[in-house]
Amino acid sequence: MAMVGDAISHAVLPGIVIAFLVTGSRESVPMLIGAGTLGLLTTFLIEFFHRYARVQSDAAIGVTFTWLFAIGIILLSVFAGQVDLDQDCVLYGEIAYVPLDIWLTDSGYNFGPRTIWTLSVVALLITAFIFVGYKELFLTAFDPGYAAAIGLSTTAWYYALMGAVSLTTVASFESVGAILVVAFLVAPPATAYLLTDDFRQMLLLSVGLGILASVAGYYLAVWLDGSIAGAIATVTGLEFMLALFFSPSRGLLLRRKQVQPVQL
């Protein structure tokens, strides 16, 4: 499941290229639509290969995203002359350029960096989605069989969640690159999982750890005079390693004695 984000972040490439070829511009909205469509197609294909072709889910993920990404690369190289996109930019992104991409209205009013606006809207949408569907998402993630028995549509919630992952991935990676997106999708929740046993706390802690990694990573990059995205991803990894060794409940070094179940 954690790798679905990785798959989406790579597989959206053909969507972006096609959106660019159709509209001829690098406007955010067509790009988001193109990439979002491919993101959903990716989750659909993975589910299809897994469920109907009986391929293991990791193999289904591997096949789907490498294939779609390869198509994207071919499209990119064939139309390279006409497309103002390059593979490095798509894969690695560059946070340092975010302040340079300014949203200017026709009358010349300066709204500041464009991605801040798109990502704020996406953040609001995702927060609203989690708020509205919290108990349904919680239940379908834990026990889909029971959820279906009491009348929840597990398929609909699965695709809603995957749609949210898709949207987040697509909106983020044009500014920060695919690798940092994957680092943020997986590392902070995995770290939070080691630190708490409560689902709500885990969600909040993931967000906190993500913010901490961004700030710390930025200053690390300034200090090292290196890649910002690389430094941030490194900090998410460091957080995970620290939690792995020093978590009070699950840490390898400080693990408390497990509470033994009491026999009734």
Shorter beta-carbon distance to another protein: residue 123 or 141 = 141
* 132 belongs to the binding site for another protein (CB under 8 A): yes
Structure tokens at 155: 């398929």
Binding mask 35-54 for another protein (x = CB under 8 A): -------------------x
Are 161 and 5 a contacting pair, CB within 8 Å?
no
Interacting stretch for another protein, rule CB under 8 A, among 35-43, 146-154, 167-175, 221-229? 146-154
Question: How far is the C-alpha of 42 from the C-alpha of 166, rounded, in Å?
Answer: 9
Pick 3 or 152: Cβ nearer another protein = 152
Q: What amino acid occupies position 13?
A: L
Instruction: Name the segment binding another protein (CB under 8 A); options: 37-45, 134-142, 175-183, 207-215.
Output: 134-142
Contact region with another protein (CB under 8 A), list: 72-80, 97-105, 149-157, 226-234: 149-157
Q: Which two tokens stand for residue 112?
A: 């500041």
Measured CA to CA, the distance from residue 171 to residue 217 in angstroms comes to: 21
Among 149, 225, 253, 257, contact with another protein (rule: CB under 8 A)? 149
* 135 interacts with another protein by CB under 8 A: yes
**Which helix (H) or strand (E) segment is 113 a member of?**
strand 110-113
Give DSSP secondary structure letters for 51-113: HTS---HHHHHHHHHHHHHHHHHHHHHHTTTT----HHHHHH--GGGGGGSEEE-TT--EEEE
The residue within the footprint of another protein, chosen from 130, 190, 202, 244 (CB under 8 A), is 202
Task: Determine if 151 is a binding residue for another protein (CB under 8 A).
Answer: yes
Burial of 254 (0-12, 13-18, 19+ CB in 10 A): exposed
From 67, 129, 199, 218, residue interacting with another protein (rule: CB under 8 A): 199
Among 81, 105, 107, 197, binds another protein (CB under 8 A): 197
How near is the Cβ of 154 to another protein at its closest, in Å? Answer: 10
Reduced to 3 states (helix: H, G, I; strand: E, B; else coil), residue 255 is coil
The residues that bridge with 113 in the sheet, in sequence order, are 102
d(CA 249, CA 60): 34
Rounded-to-10 torsion of CA 37, 96, 205, 153: 0
| Window of 31-39, 43-51, 193-201, 223-231 that interacts with another protein by CB under 8 A | 193-201
Give the closest residue to 93 by CA, choosing from 210, 153, 180, 164. 180
Stretches 24-32, 118-126, 231-239, 254-262: which one binds another protein (CB under 8 A)? 254-262
Binder of another protein out of 58, 198, 211, 219 (CB under 8 A)? 198
Give the contact letters, 58-77, x = binds to another protein (CB under 8 A), - = no.
Answer: --------------------
**Footprint on this chain of another protein (rule: CB under 8 A):** 54, 132-133, 135-136, 138-139, 141-143, 145-146, 148-152, 193, 196-199, 202, 258-259, 261, 263-264
